[in-house]
Structure 1
Amino acid sequence: MGAVKNKRMPRAVREQQMLDAAVHTFGQRGYRAASMDEIAELAGVSKPLVYLYLNSKEDLFTACIRREAKALTAAVRAGVRPGLPADRQLWDGLTAFFTHTAQNPDAWSVLHLQARTHGEPFAAEVTAMREEIVAFVTQLIVVAARAAHRNPSLPEREVAGLAEALVGAAESLAAWANTAPGVSAKQAAATLMNFAWAGLGDLMEGRPWAPSA
């Protein structure tokens, strides 16, 4: 059953209500299967009002992607406190990431699954979010290297590759954790820390892995 209609509800509040309904519907049913009728019903408004506020299904989906991408990046940034040891900063960032994706599974489905598979305009929105997170993680790795006083000048390409690998692993692990019973955000973060930090530590100590001759 949809929410009770309220003609006096401020536009900004009603629009967020529509986006909430749309994120849930897109996340549960997928972009193509979701209908504007069910989104309007869940939001407690008429379908013409959804079109009046958000123009089209494509524009509504884009608005959902932008809102949820902004919320995810803000959560990750807010979770990291500058001045702490490098490993703690990375741990806090990963914990914030997995906590947010666990608490907002429909939003994560929209960002990680739906937006990437339904056309370039949608994928481009997610790419912009991902680039921001990768840049943030890149800086965490650079700070960690400098703090270690062992390898303060890791090659830029190598640092960028490490950040890409770490973010990609986090994305895949979040998708898995959201469907695996009993896996908490902290457990997912610990899994990735155990996987990544040992390797980063060796790299900073000048012991990069290399294939045997």
Structure 2
Amino acid sequence: MAGGAKARRLPRAVREGQMLDAAVRCFARHGYQTASMDEIAELAGVSKPLVYLYLGSKEELFTACIRREAGALLGAVAAGVGGSEVPPDERLWAGLLAFFTYAAEHPDSWVVLSRQARTHGEPFAGEAARMRDEIVGFVAGLIGEAAGEAGGGITPRDVDALAQALVGSAESLADWADETPGVTAREAAATLMNFAWAGLGNLMKSERWSPR
């Protein structure tokens, strides 16, 4: 009885965090359509009416999960990159490593963001798109900084296209690493960095490949 009373006195923010943790796990395992509010409540150790009271409908709960996990991923990447005094290639490496590390250490979160959020229409796809736009903008900034320092002939359109390509590759590689036993975050980040930066290095020197 005392334990139950103590549990009921948990701050609302803590209780909501427990519910969101349970929801992310459930959505990752079963998908949005199949996941049940009953199971989410059971995993969180609360009643189903309390889930509705705190976080609203299933749609609102899923949206809250996407926003929280997207914020956590973006925060991890930003924290890993460091300040502007670090060279752009090292900042990009640090960002990629932080990205793949987060995806590896939070597989349920990554499944919700990379698969579930994008396949069930609005408003979920829009939330995932906003997260992706922030990452693309960040990567574009790093590529633009590197191009400025090198003095190469990379246009703003080139920068945007390269950022889109790099982020798309990172997302696909994170999915592959999540499903492939033994692949570490560092290995995935190094693979993409070697693939991308070698080509970027040539572009910085205005050395472009073209079809014969």
TM-score class, shorter: over 0.9
Q: Please point out which of 89, 102, 127 is paired with 1:125.
A: 127
Runs of 4+ in 1 over 3 A off after TM superposition: none
Match of 2:121, as an amino acid? G
Match of 1:196, as an amino acid? A
Q: Any gaps of 5 or more consecutive residues in structure 1?
A: none
**Is the 8 Å Cα contact of residues 140 and 160 (structure 2) preserved in structure 1?**
yes
Q: Please point out which of 98, 105, 108 is paired with 2:107.
A: 105
Question: TM-score under structure 2 normalisation?
Answer: 0.95
1:34 and 1:19 map into 2 onto residues whose CA distance is 13
Counterpart in the other structure of 1:172: 172
Task: Report the Cα offset of residue 147 of structure 1.
Answer: 2.2
**Is the 8 Å Cα contact of residues 36 and 47 (structure 1) preserved in structure 2?**
yes
Provide the alpha-carbon RMSD of the alignment: 1.1
2:80 and 2:17 map into 1 onto residues whose CA distance is 24
- Once the two structures are superposed, residues 104-136 of structure 1 have per-residue CA deviations (whole angstroms, 9 ceiling, x without a partner) of 110110010001011121000000010011000
Q: Any gaps of 5 or more consecutive residues in structure 2?
A: none
Q: How many pairs are equivalent?
A: 207
1:37 and 1:111 map into 2 onto residues whose CA distance is 22
Counterpart in the other structure of 1:69: 70
Match of 2:26, as an amino acid? T
Counterpart in the other structure of 2:211: 211
Task: Report the Cα offset of residue 177 of structure 1.
Answer: 0.3
SS where residue 133 of structure 1 aligns? helix
Task: Report the Cα offset of residue 208 of structure 1.
Answer: 1.1
1:92 and 1:46 map into 2 onto residues whose CA distance is 42
